[in-house]
Amino acid sequence: MKGAAAFGAFAGTGMPHIWMKNTDLAVAANGEIKVGVLFSLTGTTAIIEESLNKATILAIEEINAAGGINGMKIVPIVEDPASDPATFSEKARKLVVGDKCVSVFGSYTSASRKAVLPVFERQNNLYWYPTLYEGRECSKNVIYTGAVPNQQQDDFVPWLIKKFGPKFYLIGSNYIYPKEENNYCKKLLEKHGGQVVAEEYVPLGHSEFSSVINKMRSSQPNVIFSTVVGDSVVALHRQYRAAGLDPEKMPMASLTTSENEVAAMGGEAAAGHFTSAPYFMVHKSPENEKFVAAYQKRWGADKVTHFVSESCYFQTYLFKQAVEKLAVSDISPNAIRDAVKGAETIAPQGKVRIEPANLHSWLWPKIAQAKSNGQFEILVESPEWRKPLPYAAYPGQECTEKGLVTN
Amino acid sequence: MDQFVQQVVTGLSIGSILLLVALGLSIIYGSMGIINLAHGEFVMLGAYAAWMFQQFFGLGLFASLVPIFLVVAAFGWFIERYVLSFLNNRPLDTILATWGVGIILQQAVRLLVGGELRYVQMPSSLADSTNLLGVPVSAYRIFLFIAAVALFGLTWLLMNRTTIGMKLRAIVQDRSISASFGIDARRIYSLTFAYGAGLAGLAGALVSPLKSVSPEMGTGYVVDSFMVVVLGGVQSLAGTVFSSFILGEVSGVVAFLQNDTVAKALVLLAIIVLIRFRPDGLFTARIRA
């Protein structure tokens, strides 16, 4: 009986839908476009992923307030993957298969990106990944808007050697990202006449650095090259300062210390150390002033923006640009990917572009020094944007439009 | 020689932090037999209390130590009174209940004050390093060492030189006989749990200037604390002290010679092997079972 009633209703009102192709696949129905937002709100990496969620939501709200995309509203479906790769994969499937999202913005750690990758490749959907990462990936179902090793290190390492000396102490958290970054760093050191005095990895979440600091004291490197992540960064900086080491003689040069971590460790522990990234909160540009003001107005005046939340923000605008070019009936993950190839936007860091061949982003490398007021001072700005080379550490391999090519 | 002294001092410092964090657990586990999986969250509450006193009342770390102890102790008292006292002699249920309390606390903190890392300022008088036996040592780490030893001394006095301590020891020996002598076991248990929780809170506040403050920070501490207590032997305060410093020195030296990943694995392996042969830990207090 119920079935017959439903059929009646369908016949009465739903008839025209029969003639629309792929009714149940329509991703832009009723003037709405559904996207997934997949950042952890609980668990260990929630500390940082919460800010990524906030930056993404801010951009979506701004776009909707300005009239949406061709009159359609973006509807964010927020899921909490709880910092757990298995949950990431499960929630990604839910967003793609269940909610029929046309794209998903998500992930901070490489582990979580690797976990959701099979879902997006099998369902042929699109994942927007905002984090700086180790490269060595060439998926056609991911848009990478964070920096890869060549964009963070090509300027940084020679500059450090020239300014402080050739002896590097490599310290990182014990997982794939720091190892790949150090792998590239060692190649650059070899090329520019530097040397590695130690290469060491501490467990994730480690907070007792006294023995590491003793080793730094006895091996006397010129630079401590740090890819320690998360709350360990805070512990390392605070204990380095408490132990009386001097950033002027033995500075830490980091790829992972952002305004977010500096706020937690306190300006006095961060002061004097260096970070290389495409974006800093103090960067002077009208787009950045607007971004920072909007972010603080929406989420609180004490909040900071940083190099991952900035990517979250501009990648949402790139998504908008891509969808804008498409007719409503054509909106699909594949069409969005093709539309975003070569797309450009003025991001807070400067003009960025999605490289058509590898779907990574052209970005503006910068080197900055932390100040005791909790902000950075930008010392070196690359005069030109830098091409993303996700396989820079692996000569003979290249990510092209057809996929990974090995020469 | 300098390097040797440096390493010994480092080990002492790591050990003193372990002692600080494990002391509260040792009291609760040792005297009440409660496996308190929310211990790490009490540590976390202490760190957040330090942050709040600093943020909203402008109090420095030293000034807020006593209020922090009282706040977290009151919280522990509440948990004992309204959750754990209903689960007497049901150790498995107690484990589950404290685990649940821990999860609730983590999420409550996240919902109330947000998930980001928080900053607790180090007292400026202790921010630098000084020379000790010819090696540079962080002044704050020396202070932590003194604080750990002082808190241990205080706890020892409380257990062995006060009426409450005597009553507690009597209950540990035999609850029903002590009850027949007019000792109010429920009240003593509540007070003991509150004291243990307060100690955990103090530990959290004291380590927060060296480490980071986040809703999940307790997880690491509860594991460390259990390693200390299991190695030292349940019901032995002296055992807790010795095992803290043994673990501190061993992990410090291995981390120096190898790295922290190896140190963590080796220490855990050593403890497993040891409790295989000495299930009661290194130091066993003699009690009537």
> Are residues A234 and B13, on separate chains, in Cβ contact within 8 Å?
no
- Identify from A219, A238, A241, A249 which residue to disrupt to test chain B contact, counting B C-beta atoms within 10 A and taking the largest count: A238
> Are residues B127 and A217, on separate chains, in Cβ contact within 8 Å?
no
**Based on the domain organization, do A268 and A167 belong to the same domain?**
yes
> Are residues B256 and A211, on separate chains, in Cβ contact within 8 Å?
yes
pTM exceeds 0.80 for this model: yes
> Are residues B14 and A208, on separate chains, in Cβ contact within 8 Å?
yes
Range(s) of the domain holding residue A333 = 20-147+284-363
The reply to whether B284 falls in a domain is no
Whether A4 has a pLDDT exceeding 70, the answer reads: no
> What percent of chain A is modeled with pLDDT above 90?
81
B276–chain A nearest CA distance, Å? 26
**Based on the domain organization, do A143 and A158 belong to the same domain?**
no
Whether A11 has a pLDDT exceeding 70, the answer reads: no
CATH (domain of A185): 3.40.50.2300
The reply to whether A4 falls in a domain is no
Which residue of chain B is at minimal alpha-carbon distance from A300?
B114
B121 touches chain A (CB under 8 A): yes
The reply to whether A324 falls in a domain is yes
The reply to whether A102 falls in a domain is yes
- pLDDT classification of A79: cutoffs 50, 70, 90: very high
**Based on the domain organization, do A297 and A337 belong to the same domain?**
yes
**Based on the domain organization, do A355 and A385 belong to the same domain?**
no
Considering its fold, how many domains does chain A have in total? 2
The reply to whether B266 falls in a domain is yes
B174 touches chain A (CB under 8 A): no
- pLDDT classification of B286: cutoffs 50, 70, 90: low
Whether B77 and B193 have beta carbons less than 8 Å apart is answered as yes
Dist CA B274 CA B11 (whole Å):
20
> Are residues A207 and B212, on separate chains, in Cβ contact within 8 Å?
yes
The reply to whether A11 falls in a domain is no
> Are residues B7 and A50, on separate chains, in Cβ contact within 8 Å?
no
The reply to whether B261 falls in a domain is yes
- pLDDT classification of B117: cutoffs 50, 70, 90: confident
pLDDT in tens, A21-75: 444 445 566 789 999 999 998 877 887 899 999 999 999 999 999 999 999 999 9
* Residue from the list A200, A217, A266 with its beta carbon closest to the beta carbon of B121: A266
Please give the helix or strand (H or E) that residue B190 lies within, else none.
Answer: helix B185-207
Average pLDDT, chain A: 91
Give the pLDDT of residue B47.
96
The reply to whether A77 falls in a domain is yes
> Are residues A231 and B139, on separate chains, in Cβ contact within 8 Å?
no
**Based on the domain organization, do A273 and A179 belong to the same domain?**
yes
Which residue of chain A is at minimal alpha-carbon distance from B130?
A244
What would the two tokens of residue A231 be? 């709350």
A345–chain B nearest CA distance, Å? 30
Beta-strand relationship, B129-132 and A366-370 = unpaired
The reply to whether B289 falls in a domain is no
Range(s) of the domain holding residue B179 = 2-277
B75-to-B19, B71, B270 alpha-carbon distances in Å:
22, 6, 35
Chain A residues with a Cβ under 8 Å from any Cβ in chain B: 41-44, 46-47, 50-51, 174, 200-203, 205-208, 210-212, 214-215, 217-218, 231, 234-235, 238-239, 241-244, 260-261, 263-266, 268
**Based on the domain organization, do A350 and A210 belong to the same domain?**
no
Give the pLDDT of residue A7.
44
> Are residues A261 and B261, on separate chains, in Cβ contact within 8 Å?
no
Whether B199 and B29 have beta carbons less than 8 Å apart is answered as no
Evaluated on CA atoms B50, B54, B111, A49, the torsion sign reads: negative
pLDDT in tens, B250-259: 999 999 998 8
pLDDT in tens, B182-227: 999 889 999 999 999 999 999 999 999 999 899 989 988 999 999 9
**Based on the domain organization, do A160 and A252 belong to the same domain?**
yes
Dist CA B78 CA A364 (whole Å):
55
Cβ atoms within 10 Å, residue A26: 16
Counting one residue from chain A and one from chain B, the pairs whose CB atoms sit within 8 A come to 117
User: What totals of helices (H) and strands (E) does chain B contain, helices first?
Assistant: 11, 2
> Are residues A203 and B211, on separate chains, in Cβ contact within 8 Å?
no
A234-to-A258, A270, B42, B227 alpha-carbon distances in Å:
11, 9, 21, 25
Considering its fold, how many domains does chain B have in total? 1
DSSP B208: T
The reply to whether B245 falls in a domain is yes
**Based on the domain organization, do A300 and A340 belong to the same domain?**
yes
> What percent of chain B is modeled with pLDDT above 90?
62
pLDDT in tens, B150-175: 999 999 999 999 999 999 989 888 88
> Are residues B261 and A207, on separate chains, in Cβ contact within 8 Å?
no
Beta-strand relationship, A274-277 and A252-254 = parallel
- pLDDT classification of B244: cutoffs 50, 70, 90: very high
* Residue from the list A207, A210, A260 with its beta carbon closest to the beta carbon of B13: A210
Chain B residues 181-200 with a CB less than 8 Å from chain A: none
Give the pLDDT of residue B3.
81
- Compute the average pLDDT of residues A224-243: 92
Amino acid letter, A407 = N
Chain B residues 26-85 with a CB less than 8 Å from chain A: none
The reply to whether B283 falls in a domain is no
> Are residues B138 and A174, on separate chains, in Cβ contact within 8 Å?
no
B7-to-B224, B242, B263 alpha-carbon distances in Å:
20, 17, 14
Dist CA A240 CA A270 (whole Å):
10
Give the pLDDT of residue A16.
45
The reply to whether A10 falls in a domain is no
